[in-house]
Amino acid sequence: MTWYEAIRENTGEHFLDSGGTYGRHWQHPPVAEDAPAVVWNPRYWDSGATIETAHFLDATMEIDEAMQDLFEHWAGRDENRELSWFEAGMQFCEDVLRLKELARDNVYNGENDLSQVYLWAVYGHDTGEDWVYRSDVTVIIHVHTGCDVRGGYGRPIFCRSKGEYAVPVDLCAEWYVVDSHEDVSENITERWQCGYSSYPFGQVRDAIERVFPWTHRASDQSMIVKLKGGPVCRIAPAFRDCQ
């Protein structure tokens, strides 16, 4: 299993997933590994950028292939086949790995620029430490591959963080000036980072006076904009791949 396979896993037609005939993520074409990691559509520029979830998870989370294989074998047993993916992931962690759930959430509940949301859960031994900074925990991720966020989630993917946090915490694109003939205030660009705002594009949008959509460049998804009371510059989105 890879993240590129996980985002297109066929989860069928869940009764809470009212996506219609062709509205589910698993019905979309595959995402190529060389596709842009972040896309800023010049037609809908004021909606911000979109981070491709497969690229994001591939950059931030490493799949534990040995544990994934162990889970797949366990889930394939007759006595476990009737479990939902949520039930299977939880039961496997608790009964087989003897781990305790330390935290669980859906990234849908917070600001994010992801193309597909996912549910995550952190499992480990209860040592009393803050789970956020622990490297000895196991994370399971269920990618949403349906249409309606209430249903249509894939199998648990067993993984570990590549960064300093147990799970990625910065789920929005950050923004950078990639070219300008005039100096751009650091006070402005600092506000375009995840460390300053939970939704950096809100800061970007407030700083823009005018956008020139025809200047959109596919290579880095950048566009030329005029900042309020400031210079004309080319800006582009990106995401933090080491958190």
137 against 240, higher pLDDT: 137
- Based on the domain organization, do 151 and 179 belong to the same domain? no
Domain end among 161, 190, 223 = 161
Map residue 57 onto helix, strand or coil: helix
Q: Are residues 178 and 233 in the same domain?
A: yes
Could you list the residue range(s) of the whole structural domain that residue 226 is in?
174-238
Does residue 204 sit in the same domain as residue 135? no
Reported confidence tier of residue 151, pLDDT bands at 50, 70, 90: confident
CA 207 to each of CA 179, 192, 197, 216: distance values in angstroms, whole numbers, following the listed order:
16, 10, 14, 18
Instruction: Answer with the one of 110, 133, 161 that is the final residue of a domain.
Output: 161
What are the structure tokens assigned to 172, written together?
């929005």
User: What tens digit of pLDDT does each residue of 20-56 get?
Assistant: 555 788 888 999 999 999 999 999 999 999 999 999 9
pLDDT of residue 183: 80
Residue 168 within any structural domain of the chain: no
In a domain, 73, yes or no: yes
Ranges of beta strands (E only) in the chain are 38-39, 50-51, 61-63, 100-106, 118-124, 138-143, 157-161, 174-180, 208-217, 222-227, 232-238
The DSSP letter of residue 91 is H
User: Residue 188 domain-assigned?
Assistant: yes
Residue with token string 């939902």? 84
Q: Tell whether 8 is covered by a domain.
A: yes
Average pLDDT, the chain: 92
pLDDT in tens, 98-143: 999 999 999 999 999 999 999 999 999 998 889 999 989 999 999 9
42 plus 101 within the same structural domain? yes
The C-alpha atoms of residue 197 and residue 157 are separated, in whole angstroms, by 30
Is residue 242's pLDDT more than 60? no
Tell me the β-bridge partners of 119: 106, 142
Say what the pTM is.
0.92
Give me the number of domains the chain comprises. 2
- C-beta of residue 184 within 8 angstroms of C-beta of residue 168: no
For residue 18, pLDDT over 80 is answered with no
Q: What is the per-residue pLDDT for 195?
A: 87
